[in-house]
Amino acid sequence: MPITKSAKKALRQSLKRKAGNKVYKEKIKSLFKEAKILVSKKKIDEAKKLLPQIYQALDKAAKVGVIKKNNASRRKMRFANLLQRSK
Tell me the domain boundaries of the chain. 5-85
Residue 86: the pLDDT is 84
Residue 1: the pLDDT is 86
Query: Of the candidates 20, 41, 27, which has an alpha carbon nearest to the alpha carbon of residue 75?
Result: 27
Q: Give residues with Cβ within 8 angstroms of 69, minimum separation 6.
A: 62
Query: Of the candidates 76, 52, 18, which has an alpha carbon nearest to the alpha carbon of residue 68?
Result: 76
pTM: 0.84
Residue 15: the pLDDT is 96
Residue 53: the pLDDT is 95
* Regions of the chain with pLDDT less than 50: none
Residue 74: the pLDDT is 96
Kindly report the CATH number that applies to the domain delimited by 5-85: 1.20.58.110
Residue 58: the pLDDT is 97
CA distance 78 to 65: 20
Q: How buried is 54 (Cβ within 10 angstroms: 0-12 exposed, 13-18 middle, 19+ buried)? A: buried
